[in-house]
Amino acid sequence: MLISRASSVLRRNSHVLVARASNARSATVMSAAWRKSLDTSLTEQAKNPIAKFFQLATVRGSGKPANRTMVFRGFLGDTEQVMFVTDHRTEKLEEIKNKDWAEICWYFPDSREQFRIGGSMAVVGGDSQDQELLKVREQAWDEQGANSKKWYTQPKPGAPRDKDDSKFEKDPPDSVHPEFVLVSCIPDHHLWGVP
């Protein structure tokens, strides 16, 4: 089953596709072949929890790479912008602020496809002036489970956990936590294929 799926993907992607848009915004039109292929993989592998995680690489102030696992939170409407959510106080936000570039690496275990999607990052916090994006952020907050919402009540993400557990056990707020940010990757290049 896995082999026939992988070979059908190979036929579909008989070449590794590399594209670079002339500017980031021009890549936001719908229906790029790689976006369709990504949709197919997401649908076909919806039952595999691993398929919704990707790695996000950013650039540290030192110039060295930083990489971490993130949860895919959907596309921004019909665009190719890949969304994730995080805490405004995390290192990755500082890194994006200093160097507005990141690359997503996303592996689909069943089809053995790898997608690499790079570009600039649009960060939507509570101070955004864009009402539509604020609504998307609010919706993303509502879709978070109670435990995920509690993550934002930590005194500082990544700080060593101290003995006072009460700091981490606050009830999650009903309204969007101020540190909660929605981030979308505006692709300016992508690379997809089966190794």
Ligand X SMILES: Cc1cc2nc3c(=O)[nH]c(=O)nc-3n(C[C@H](O)[C@H](O)[C@H](O)COP(=O)(O)O)c2cc1C
> By the criterion CB under 6 A, which residues form the site for ligand X?
53, 66, 68-71, 84-87, 90-92, 158
Q: How far is the CB of 137 from ligand X (least distance, A)?
A: 14
Say how many C-beta atoms besides its own lie within 10 A of residue 169's C-beta: 9
Cβ nearer to ligand X, comparing 93 with 186? 93
Q: How far is the CB of 73 from ligand X (least distance, A)?
A: 7
CA triple 66-121-87, angle to 5 deg:
65
Residues whose CB is less than 8 angstroms from the CB of residue 167 and which lie 6 or more positions away in sequence, other chains included: 154, 155
Cβ nearer to ligand X, comparing 13 with 153? 153
Cβ nearer to ligand X, comparing 68 with 135? 68
Say how many C-beta atoms besides its own lie within 10 A of residue 40's C-beta: 15
Q: How far is the CB of 43 from ligand X (least distance, A)?
A: 21
Q: How far is the CB of 34 from ligand X (least distance, A)?
A: 22
Element (H, E) at 2: helix 2-12
Q: How far is the CB of 89 from ligand X (least distance, A)?
A: 9
Residue 153 token pair: 């009540």
Q: 167: which DSSP letter?
A: G
Cβ nearer to ligand X, comparing 17 with 123? 123
Question: Over 21-83, what HEC string results?
Answer: CCCHHHHHCCCCHHHHHHHHHHHHCCCCHHHHEEEEEEECCCCCEEEEEEECCCECCCCCCEE
Q: How far is the CB of 55 from ligand X (least distance, A)?
A: 9
Cβ nearer to ligand X, comparing 133 with 194? 133
Cβ nearer to ligand X, comparing 145 with 195? 145
* CA atoms of 46 and 55, how far apart (whole Å): 18
Query: Secondary structure of the chain: what % helix, strand, coil (to 5)?
Result: 30, 30, 40
